[in-house]
Chains A and B, each alone.
Chain A
Amino acid sequence: MTRRPLLPALVGLILALLPPQLSAQQGLYTAASIAGGVEFKQYNFGNGFGVDRLSQVAFPIGVALPIGRRFSLDVGTQFAVTSVADTQGGHSSFSSLTDTQLRGAYTFGNDALVASLVLNLPTGKQTTTLQQFGVSSSASSNFLLFPVNSYGSGVSVTPGIAAATTTGDWNLGAAASLRINGEYQPFSGTGNTGIKYQPGVEGRLRVGADRLVGTSRLSFGLTFSTFGTDELRGGGLGNGAYDPGNRILVDLGVLSPVGTGTVSVYLWNYYRSAGSGGSASASNKENVLTGGVSGAFPLSPTVSIEPLLESRFWMPEDGSGRLFGLGTAFRVALSPAIALIPGVRIDRGSIRSPGATSRVGVTGWSLSSFVQYTFK
């Protein structure tokens, strides 16, 4: 704890030792831009699942702003409506603005190092009724991957640093971040207003590499996340602590020029070990494996098509799920400054809930349209 005040001094020292170079490249963004859109996703489940339909419509908006040559700032938030329909005809929905992330990034040297800081501003609804919490959490699955997985989680700051270099034919990178959360009141309603929740610190480490192989680019990454203890105190639930499990994300990709376009073959595997409270396991270990092929082919100087074929497999401690998706998007340059990406996707698969003996069918479909205006 006593070492933390050293951070600003360390950052200042690095800045002082690394004066701007003439040959430096730009930061995360080359031009200011504003992007937004709408994304709708719905899953329908077969008989015996308990839930008939889950849907969410999200309206993201983000602004990216380079300040000078080395500093980049982006800010973004979403408004989302999550709805759940059960098999008895019941229907619940929850809508709110989400938290807003403000991220600043400073690039040192010739793309050598990026120091970043993410502020999570609590513009979302962090204090909810238990029913609202149930509805919003239903869109948090790592298997179904809705656009918004949390409406509000209190204040947090995430300083991070990323570095990269070239060694022979390889580009190598490493990155790390530490998310420090503030305490907040998660629940409203009778008996719950006194509950305080302090999420533990999260640390992330990533190593990545890429290189050209022939005319293709091969990329690889491994991200490891670990967590401090989450603490809950006060209110009717009493005091408690929980240690989330570590997570490992491995991603692989090959991007190749094919004809007049590019084809990307990608694979990522997300593994989460079980969390625990005291000595008891929460039995929530899971693994999500996704693989797909996507392409980008110009149809004209201003329009390209981006088809996609993807499959995803979910392996929790008990139960399983699989989805096979087919979709496409179009990238349309309406003008030199305005780009539009409309997309559609359909998924079909099945899911077996923990404790269930049979699988039920899942059909998902999503529609999205994003637009970006770049200030030239």
Chain B
Amino acid sequence: MNVRSRAPLVAIVSALSVIACAGTPPPSPVPSPADLPALEAAQQQSPRDAALITRLGIAYFEAKRFDRSRDVLQSALALNGRNYPALVYLGLAHEELGSLDSARAAYTAAGALAGGKVQQGEIADRLALLTRKELRQAARASIAQEATLSEQPPTENSVAVFPFSYVGQNEDLRPVGRGLTHLMITDLSKLSRLKLLEREQVQLLVDELALNDAGRVDPRTGARSGRILRAERVVQGSVQDIPGKQDIRFDAAIVNASDAKVVASGTGSDPLAQLFALQKQVLFRLVDQLGITLTPAERRALSERPTADLQAFLAFSRGLEAEDRGDYQAAEANYSAALARDPNFRAAKDRRASNSRLSLAVQLSPQVLAGLGDRDLGPRGGEPVGGVAPPLPTGHGTVLRTGVLYTSPSTGGTLTTRFGGGSGGGPISRPPGTRPQLPETLGGDNAGTPGGLLGTIIIVIVRP
């Protein structure tokens, strides 16, 4: 018996020693700036080691020496172009250096090498975030080239809807201008003869021009912005409280970008509860003054309301405002709040879906994006950030760790999993299988009813 029971022990202890010897700790996946001297020295010794050069490039990135990082990573890719982490970090370095086209090329190449849907999704999210940066960069470039752009003819039938400004003291209503802008763009884009510019594109230009509320309703400013955007016409206006009443007033005008002439205007006032009716009223006046004859189908389409719930619309508007200032987590919370009030609010649903990608991209660390960090423990599975529910863990690491927990449980492992985040750290009943194992015969799972054990030896032994 003794010999038999020790044989496996010897084998396992031998196995452990083999693991210990063979498992010399490999280098950390993400080198730090402190590793730079050692990596540079190693690279001198092995100038064609692509993995080593990649680590050197990452260390330069971590040290915020982005130009050097870019150069080193490019040399690593020259040795081996199918290097996913190098491509991702190269894209990040290009982003930091403002070379957004090059960043896009690097991410696109990385996306082709992505291993699985999760990684592909992360690259797609990063590209979506990059698009925002590109729009902002384009807005700056347009302002810098204002003189040249103003000489160029506008895109035929193009319309830019400026963010409607809010005039009033009610802070809860301040974001409503964004929501109305979104509604106006959505409605006008249903008319095939008009080409609507993206709301984000216009908003970024307004941000870059640092226009105040007055500037956003000034026809001359609108015309100037329209010319920069090469839009033929600009829609601008304001929402304001009517003092002493619960009513609001909505003014909108369409301005020719070429000469700042107001070609159409619409005004209406109604109780706040009638906001959507008010928006439609102004919309139809503008369309009518533009001389557009609506077909019955177009009239029906323009009459559609996105939601009947004003609070849902206000939450949606707050989401747009948060998204515009780059706070994607707050935007997600507001879109979710809008959907909680009206699950059929399609625009909120669509917006939340697209914003979610930006939110994930912002939270994802470079290490995880490059496949060098633990996705399950990274931002996608981490603690709530900014008061918004954390996206759930993805990847197969969770399944792997649960497998270890259930087949090789240990006191230390079970204890530390309480601190892993998410639901389950509290007093939930853990299945018997996750407790340290013990023989059945003596106590443990053999116990049955506690009362039956008192003062009695319950050893299930049947004599041969």
Contact = CB atoms under 8 A, between A and B. Distances in A.
Contacts of A20: 26-27
Given A208-B403, A294-B423, A70 B26 contact: yes
B29 interface: yes
A232 B437 contact: no
A134 B456 contact: yes
B384 interface: yes
Given A24-B29, A260-B384, A344-B427, A117 B15 contact: yes
B375 interface: yes
B412 A103 contact: yes
A298 B51 CA distance: 41
A260 B18 contact: no
A334 interface: no
B12 A117 contact: yes
B407 A240 contact: no
B407 A331 contact: no
B372 interface: yes
Contacts of A244: 440-441, 446
B401 to A, nearest CB: 6
A211 B389 CA distance: 18
A130 B457 contact: yes
Contact of B446 (A169, A177, A275): A275
B292 interface: no
A153 B374 contact: no
A282 interface: yes
Contact of B419 (A175, A251, A372): A372
Contact of A173 (B28, B396, B452, B464): B396
B410 to A, nearest CB: 4
A8 interface: yes
B461 A134 contact: no
Nearest to B388: A260
B54 to A, nearest CB: 7
Interface string B246-273: 0000000000000000000000000000
A193 interface: no
A104 B450 contact: no
Given A22-B85, A173-B399, A63 B412 contact: yes
Interface string B387-430: 11111111111111111101111111111101101111111111
Contacts of A278: 462, 464
Q: Which of B392, B418, B442, B457 has most A Cβ within 10 Å?
A: B442
Given A183-B2, A343-B427, A54 B450 contact: yes
A259 B118 CA distance: 24
B22 interface: yes
Contact of B463 (A103, A239, A260, A325): A239
Interface stretch (B3-11, B190-198, B295-303): B3-11
Interface in A205-242: 205-206, 208-210, 212, 215-217, 219, 221, 223, 225, 227, 230-232, 237-242
Contacts of A93: none
A319 interface: yes
B153 interface: no
Nearest to B457: A130
Interface string A112-123: 001111101000
Nearest to A200: B439
Interface in A231-264: 231-232, 237-242, 244, 247, 249, 251, 255, 257-264
Interface of A is mostly: strand
B84 interface: yes
B227 interface: no
Given A63-B412, A199-B441, A261-B384, A166 B464 contact: no
B443 to A, nearest CB: 4
A217 B392 contact: yes
Contact of A149 (B116, B384, B390, B443): B443
A251 B403 CA distance: 12
A131 B457 CA distance: 8
A7 B400 contact: no
Contacts of A307: 426
B38 interface: no
A7 B397 CA distance: 25
A100 B388 CA distance: 40
A306 to B, nearest CB: 4
Q: Which of B390, B401, B431, B439 has most A Cβ within 10 Å?
A: B439
A152 to B, nearest CB: 9
B416 to A, nearest CB: 5
B415 A277 contact: no
Given A149-B445, A292-B428, A232 B459 contact: yes
A183 B1 CA distance: 8
Nearest to B441: A230
Nearest to A168: B117
Given A11-B18, A257-B389, A308 B427 contact: yes
Contact of B415 (A76, A134, A157): A76
B412 A67 contact: no
Interface string A263-280: 110101010100111101
Contacts of B85: 22-23
Q: Which of B117, B422, B430, B449 has most A Cβ within 10 Å?
A: B449
B389 A259 contact: yes
Interface in A59-96: 60-64, 67-71, 74-78, 84, 86
Interface of B: 1-2, 4-9, 11-19, 22-29, 51, 54-55, 84-85, 115-118, 333, 336, 370-377, 383-384, 387-404, 406-416, 418-419, 421-433, 435-464
14 contacts: A20-B27, A61-B415, A120-B436, A138-B450, A145-B429, A157-B12, A180-B8, A182-B9, A199-B441, A204-B406, A242-B460, A257-B389, A286-B448, A301-B387
Given A162-B400, A215-B392, A242-B462, 10 more contacts: A25-B397, A30-B374, A71-B25, A99-B436, A101-B409, A133-B443, A153-B438, A198-B5, A205-B407, A284-B448
